[in-house]
Every structure is written in structure tokens, then in C-alpha cells.
């Protein structure tokens, strides 16, 4: 939200009152509350009017500071609000500073507050190091003077609640500091210079709109900021004031948390401790998914031909997905199979599952007017309604469609019952599509603020499906498109509708890296692009990228995505990378467990692990897949790829064994059966005895590869079973030319390799 006219003036129609003077301070055992005036108070007469901002500092989680800025404190709080894991029993330390101010300390993170009758300004520190600060002309209440009605967006949704007051905060940016996050943003990965509005929309992957908007950002200086507001939060990142990150909300209060850490990973761990950790996806979900595609023609014969085609070509397949038209046209989302194409769906599903497949189906939270259940749901009040009490309807996506009201307990129960029916039929996963363009000029059953519900709707929608599937199956896996803060608890999320070209492939990765910087642990995308049909060249390059992502799915819009539809070499490439991912499952699933435990994303930007190496701070064309494997997709027809290996030792190509020195950029040409895949120095990657399904015994016949270990150094890793339980612990120690590898927790046979050509002494103690 930009309201300035240069630095000194304000745009016409806005009145900005900044916090100027610390006029009074109150403290208790848990907080420090500061009363700031908009001007310096020289006499009693100056207290007779004008805004006073009440700013409360507290901590409800170690290494986080909670800041609440209020103008009028008597305004009503309307639902919904994010579900946060705050600890009401946590007590920060509050001390006086030498100049008479205060310091509120939470772990190693603290805020320094000036004394009474000082200029407004606070500093946020971690271990004594400055993270960021606010001060002169930063914290403010903004009032709109000459209101003009906002233009309504499509779907009767606008990101303005009709109020005239905004609270804004500005935090300083240091020289060379970079900002990341805000959810799934397909714009440049580094957000400096951008306006990031937290407002979900269905805009594809080539615009500034986002399917998944999260009011959280990370800094390369190892801090993060979460604005705890489900409604529209507008961020200006070095875009209005070039040395500040500004954020504002409409209303009389702004609440945010600031997290400090030793690394970006530490900050993500703190943020997800507050908003929720990602669940552990089932091991089978990491295998290859194949889809019917969107508007293509298909029936059981078509589906069977796809599956048999994969079997004939020895391409391992774990999941088959039925997209929208498993239901009749004009009837989404009736949850009723189209009997013209699938006369006996339950029997069909059992036939498919007898092949060892898991089954996924598409749904959305909308119901077309022609759906057999429409009238019943309307009469029961299960749809979002207009202010006059009638059902909100639109012709977008399905003629006369209405939207499920997930604030209504009966509607939630009805929707959950349909998911359980699918599960009873044999469905293992659900693709929760749509949920972004939710209207705001409507009424909810529980009286929720529709402006706040716009983004939050995605949380209620996905949680309803997740809970129902978990209850019915004992485990859950989604393939979700819309999201906001907290939705990381319901994986997996995919990147939405991308085009079929290299630029879309690159923007998909940028969106995924921004999403995982926002607390989301797992990420997928439509291999080869969704819209149009790419070339065989693109298909093969995107296949490598897709299989080296946490989750991997072939899916398109109006054409099939089976590899033989492109060329026979595409089948070979698909088989090669599916086999590679399958063999990597002991390593990958151990990292998935770590993501579930810590919140640190499994697929992540280089800055998460190597933030002390400044070369990594802006890289958005490569990523770490887990803690030890660097992946750099090839984004060009000529097969050329440039990548950076962070400093710290020798990196090893896991496909060729070639070793390269870290701290340098490299450029090479790659055929379709390769891409830069480098193990970091002093790491262990465990390969499994993959036989076609992603969920298998990861300790049986495992190959332990030790990479780049220097003399006197050691490395360790864990292996888990396909249920996420500890199965083996591996340590490696090098002394001179000898490498000793010890495995505990299993007595299964294993082998050890090291591309360094060391003498290997491996042992599995008899007491395990």
C-alpha cells in the first residue's frame, strides 16, 4: 500500500500520523506497553486530541517477539483468526536498560525500547546483533480522507473491507539485505523492489497473483516477520521507501511476530512452531503420479491403456489421478461418478489398486446448479449467501455454481462425509483444487468477516478434507492449490496452472522456492506444463526437474501427458529419473521426516543452508532437495546449465562421481539423462533397493555413499522406514586413507561406496 508522494509528502486523500514520542510505558510480568503520540507533547493542551498508538511487546514463543499496534482498542474482533500455537505460560525476561528504557528478551531474540520522552524507535536483536529496527516516520495510523469506491474484481471479491483506517509498520533494511517469501510468488525470488499483496487469486504462474498467499517474510539477516492477519496485508519491500519493508492492514490494529535465529532455517523452524508443522506425507506419495489431464476425453479403457503403457515400458508408477471429469459436466462438485464413462467405479478402482496403484481424485468446493445435490444443499443453508439471504451464485467454472460454506458445521459434515465415501471406495488421495476467488460481498453462517475469510477459506477447505481423509484412511495426502498461513500442515501443494515452455518452468521453481520459504515443506508442479503442449525437449527436461522435486506428477490441460505421446526417448528419460528417485527414497524420506519434525522445507532455496555464502542469497535456478543434494534443472533447449556450488569443500556429482571444488560457478552441457545433481561435502546419501514402488524396506540392501569427506572429519545420517519410524543410524569417519562406516539399528546387508577411492571399513555391530 503506497501512500507517500516521495519521502516528505503524502498522496492526496490520505492523512498519516506517525508515532513520534514515547509518552508513557507500562510493564507487567509478560509485556511492555508503550504509548506513543503523533507529536511532541509540550504542554497539557497538546493532549486534548490526535491519535495515540498503543504498542505492546510480548513473547509467547521462545526467540519470537509479539508486537501489537492499536489505535482504537474498543473495536470488535471478528473471526476468523489464524490458529497459533502460542504458549500462554511462556515468560520473557524484561530488564531496564542503562538509559532508562526496557529490553524484552525471548531466548536470544530481544527488542530494545527507548525510555519515556524519547523519540519513537525500537531495535530487534539476536544475540546482540541488530536484525532490524523501526523509528522515525515508520509506525503510523493512516486515515483515508476522500474515499473512492474500489473497483470490484471478478467473482465479486475485492481486497478492501470498506474501512478508512489502516495501521502500518515499517522495518529497516540493511545494506545488502534481501527479503524472501510471502507465499507462492512467481515474480523474482528476491522480493526487494516489489509490492506483495496477500490476497489469493487464480491467476496462473506468469502474473503477480498468487494461489497461496502467506503474510510472512524472511530476511537474509536471519529474521522473519509474520503479520497475524488472515485478511489482506499489503507489503512494500524496498518499493515505497527503498530502505524499509512496510506492511499495513485495514482496521484499528496490526499484530505481528518477529523471529530471530542463527540461520534462515532456524527462523523457519520458529515460524512453523507457531503456525504448524507440515504433516509427514505417506511414503508412496513420493513416487510418480500420472493424470488423465483436465479436459481430455477418458474412460476406464483410456485409464487402463495409460497404466498398461507405463507397465509395458517399465516406468514405475505409484499413483493414478482422475481429474475433473470423473464427474459429469455442469455438476461439479456432486461427488457422483459419471456412469457413462465409469459404469462401476468401485470395481474399477479395485482393479487399478490390484496393480499396486494408489488412486487420487479431483474435487473443488463449488457445486454447479445442475448437480443433483444442489437444491438440498441450498435449502439446508450449506452455501455462502448474499446479504439478502439468497445463495451466492456465479457462472464462472460451472453454470450457476454456489460455494460451500465451511463455517457451517452441517456443511462441513456433509462435505467430509463425501470424502469418507470416496475413501471407502478406495480413494487414497484428494486433489483439492480452486478455493482462491472467494467473494467478499457475502454472508457466512457463523458471522465471519468475509474480508478475512477470503484467504482463510483455503484453510477451512483443506482442513476439512484432510481431517476426513485422515479419519477414514488413518493417513492423508492432498494435492492442494490454494493456501494461506497454516495450510502447510496439509501437504502436498502444487504450483498451479503453468504454461508449457521454459520460462514457465523457471517461474514454477521461483514460486516453489518462495512457497517453501514461507513454511511449506513439500512442493510439486505439473511436469511439462499445464496449458498447451510442450515439445519433447521440454517434456524431458521438465521430467528431470519434476522427479527431482519432493512430489512428481504428469498433468496437463487439453492433452495427455503420457511420455510416449511425445517420443520414445521421453519414456526412457521418465524411467531413468523415476528409478533414480526411487533409489533415493531412503535419503528422501529421512529428509521428509526431518521436515515434519522441524518445519525446515525439504525442497529449499540455497540461502536456507548456505546463507553465510553471499553467492547463494539471490539464486533461484537451483535448490537443495534435502540437506545434502543440490539440484539444478536445465532451462534451455541447448542443454546448457550454469550452477553454483557453495564454499566449504568438494562437491560430488552423484551420477558420475566427478568432484568439484565449492565456492565457484560452473557451466556445462547435459543430455536428457543428466542434470547437475551434487552431494554436498562431508555428507552421506543412502540409496535403496528400489523395485518399482516408493514405499519399500529402505534398509534392505541399502547402498551407503559417503561424499567429500576430509581427513579427520565425520558424517552421520538416519534411515527411517516407510512409516516414518527410525530404522538405522549411520556414521562415517575418515582417518587418512581409511573410511570407517558404522551402521546401527539394523542387521540387514548393506554396501558402502565413496567416490574418493578410500579404503572402506564397514561394520554392523552384533548387538543391534
Find cell 455462502 and name the residue: 384
- CA-based end-to-end distance of the chain: 61
Q: Do residues 712 and 738 make contact, with C-beta atoms less than 8 angstroms apart?
A: no
User: How many C-beta neighbours within 10 Å does residue 694 have?
Assistant: 25
Interstrand relation of 759-763 and 244-250 (parallel, antiparallel or unpaired): unpaired
The candidate with the shortest Cα–Cα distance to 551, out of 358, 233, 194, 284, is: 284
Which residues, at least 6 apart from 301, have a Cβ–Cβ distance to it below 8 Å?
Answer: none
* DSSP string across 446-461: T---HHHHHHHHHHHH
Q: Do residues 679 and 303 make contact, with C-beta atoms less than 8 angstroms apart?
A: no
Strand ranges for 317-445 from DSSP E: 319-322, 358-363, 366-367, 402-403, 429-432
Backbone angle region of 515, left / alpha / beta, with phi > 0 → left and psi within -120 to 50 → alpha: alpha
Active site residue 497: yes
Which listed residue (497, 507, 531, 721) is catalytic?
497
The candidate with the shortest Cα–Cα distance to 486, out of 209, 210, 271, 199, is: 271
Q: Do residues 214 and 228 make contact, with C-beta atoms less than 8 angstroms apart?
A: no
Which listed residue (231, 236, 436, 501) is catalytic?
436
Active site residue 297: no
Q: C-alpha grid cell for residue 670?
A: 547435459
Active site residue 436: yes
The candidate with the shortest Cα–Cα distance to 498, out of 517, 511, 480, is: 511
Find cell 551407503 and name the residue: 704
Which listed residue (177, 433, 531, 613) is catalytic?
433
Which residues, at least 6 apart from 515, have a Cβ–Cβ distance to it below 8 Å?
Answer: 183, 184, 212, 214, 493, 495, 523
Q: Which burial class, exposed, middle or buried, applies to 390 when counting CB atoms under 10 A from its CB (0-12, 13-18, 19+)? A: exposed
Residue positions annotated with a catalytic role: 433, 436, 497
Amino acid at each position: 500500500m503506497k501512500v507517500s508522494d516521495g519521502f516528505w509528502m503524502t498522496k492526496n486523500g490520505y492523512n498519516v500520523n506517525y508515532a513520534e514520542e514515547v509518552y508513557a510505558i507500562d510493564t507487567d510480568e509478560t509485556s511492555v506497553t508503550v504509548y506513543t503520540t503523533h507529536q511532541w507533547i509540550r504542554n497539557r493542551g497538546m493532549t486534548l486530541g490526535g491519535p495515540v498508538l498503543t504498542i505492546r511487546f510480548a513473547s509467547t514463543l521462545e526467540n519470537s517477539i509479539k508486537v501489537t499496534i492499536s489505535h482504537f482498542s474498543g473495536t470488535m474482533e471478528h473471526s476468523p483468526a489464524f490458529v497459533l500455537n502460542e504458549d500462554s505460560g511462556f515468560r520473557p525476561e524484561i530488564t531496564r536498560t542503562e538509559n532508562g528504557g526496557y529490553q524484552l528478551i525471548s531466548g536470544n531474540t530481544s527488542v530494545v525500547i527507548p525510555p519515556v520522552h524519547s523519540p519513537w524507535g525500537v531495535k530487534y536483536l539476536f544475540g546482540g546483533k541488530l536484525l532490524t529496527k523501526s523509528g522515525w516516520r515508520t509506525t503510523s495510523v493512516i486515515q483515508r480522507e476522500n474515499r473512492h469506491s474500489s473497483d470490484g474484481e471478478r467473482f465479486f471479491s475485492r481486497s478492501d473491507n470498506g474501512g478508512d483506517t489502516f495501521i502500518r509498520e515499517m522495518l529497516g533494511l540493511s545494506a545488502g539485505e534481501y527479503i524472501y517469501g510471502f507465499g507462492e510468488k512467481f515474480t523474482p525470488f528476491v522480493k526487494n523492489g516489489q509490492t506483495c499483496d496477500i490476497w489469493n487469486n487464480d491467476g496462473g504462474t506468469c502474473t503477480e497473483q498468487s494461489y497461496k498467499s502467506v503474510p510472512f517474510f524472511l530476511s537474509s539477516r536471519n529474521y522473519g516477520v509474520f503479520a497475524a492477519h488472515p485478511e489482506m496485508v499489503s507489503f512494500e519491500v524496498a518499493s515505497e521507501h527503498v530502505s524499509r519493508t512496510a506492511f499495513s492492514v485495514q482496521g484499528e490494529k496490526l499484530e505481528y511476530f518477529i523471529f530471530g535465529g542463527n540461520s534462515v532455517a532456524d527462523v523457519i523452524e520458529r515460524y512453523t512452531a507457531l503456525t504448524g508443522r507440515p504433516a509427514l506425507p505417506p511414503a508412496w506419495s513420493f513416487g510418480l503420479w500420472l493424470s488423465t489431464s483436465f479436459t481430455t476425453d477418458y474412460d476406464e479403457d483410456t485409464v487402463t491403456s495409460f497404466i498398461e503403457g507405463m507397465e509395458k515400458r517399465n516406468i514405475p508408477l505409484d499413483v493414478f489421478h482422475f481429474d475433473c471429469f470423473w464427474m459429469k459436466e455442469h455438476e461439479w462438485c456432486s461427488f457422483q461418478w459419471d456412469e457413462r464413462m465409469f459404469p462401476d467405479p468401485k470395481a474399477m478402482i479395485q482393479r487399478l489398486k490390484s496393480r499396486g496403484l494408489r488412486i487420487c481424485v479431483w474435487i473443488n468446493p463449488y457445486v454447479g446448479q445442475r448437480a443433483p445435490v444442489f437444491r438440498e444443499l441450498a435449502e439446508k443453508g450449506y452455501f455462502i449467501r448474499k446479504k439478502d439471504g439468497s445463495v451466492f451464485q456465479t457462472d464462472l467454472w460451472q453454470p450457476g455454481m454456489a460455494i460451500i460454506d465451511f463455517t457451517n458445521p452441517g456443511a462441513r459434515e456433509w462435505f467430509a462425509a463425501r470424502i469418507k465415501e470416496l475413501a471407502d471406495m478406495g480413494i487414497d488421495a484428494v486433489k483439492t483444487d480452486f478455493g482462491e476467488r472467494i467473494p467478499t460481498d457475502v454472508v457466512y453462517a457463523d458471522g465471519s468477516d468475509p474480508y478475512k475469510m477470503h484467504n482463510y477459506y483455503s484453510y477451512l477447505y483443506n482442513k476439512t478434507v484432510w481431517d476426513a481423509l485422515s479419519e477414514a484412511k488413518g493417513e492423508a495426502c492432498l494435492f492442494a492449490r490454494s493456501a494461506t498461513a497454516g495450510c502447510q500442515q496439509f501437504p502436498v501443494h502444487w504450483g498451479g496452472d503453468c504454461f508449457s515452455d521454459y520460462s514457465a518452468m523457471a517461474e514454477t521453481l521461483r514460486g516453489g522456492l518462495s512457497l517453501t520459504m514461507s513454511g511449506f515443506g513439500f512442493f510439486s508442479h505439473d511436469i511439462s506444463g499445464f496449458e498447451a503442449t510442450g515439445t519433447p525437449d521440454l517434456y524431458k527436461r521438465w521430467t528431470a526437474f519434476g522427479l527431482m522435486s519432493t512430489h512428481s506428477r504428469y498433468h496437463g490441460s487439453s492433452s495427455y501427458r503420457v511420455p510416449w505421446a511425445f517420443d520414445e526417448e521421453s519414456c526412457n528419460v521418465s524411467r531413468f529419473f523415476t528409478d533414480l528417485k526411487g533409489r533415493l527414497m531412503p535419503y528422501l524420506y529421512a529428509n521428509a521426516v526431518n521436515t515434519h519434525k522441524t518445519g525446515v522445507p525439504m525442497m529449499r532455496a540455497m540461502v536456507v543452508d548456505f546463507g553465510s555464502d553471499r553467492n547463494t542469497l539471490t539464486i533461484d535456478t537451483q535448490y537443495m532437495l534435502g540437506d545434502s543434494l543440490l539440484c539444478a534443472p536445465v532451462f534451455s533447449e541447448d542443454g546448457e546449465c550454469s550452477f553454483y556450488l557453495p564454499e566449504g569443500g568438494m562437491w560430488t556429482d552423484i551420477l558420475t562421481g566427478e568432484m568439484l571444488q565449492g565456492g565457484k560457478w560452473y557451466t556445462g552441457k547435459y543430455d536428457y539423462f543428466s542434470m547437475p545433481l551434487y552431494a554436498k561435502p562431508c555428507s552421506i546419501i543412502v540409496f535403496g533397493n528400489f523395485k518399482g514402488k516408493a514405499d519399500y524396506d529402505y534398509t534392505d540392501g541399502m547402498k551407503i555413499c559417503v561424499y567429500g569427506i576430509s581427513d579427520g572429519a565425520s558424517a552421520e545420517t538416519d534411515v527411517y522406514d516407510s512409516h516414518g519410524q527410525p530404522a538405522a543410524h549411520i556414521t562415517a569417519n575418515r582417518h587418512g586413507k581409511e573410511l570407517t562406516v558404522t551402521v546401527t539399528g539394523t542387521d540387514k546387508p548393506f554396501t558402502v561406496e565413496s567416490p574418493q577411492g578410500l579404503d572402506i571399513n564397514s561394520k554392523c555391530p552384533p548387538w543391534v
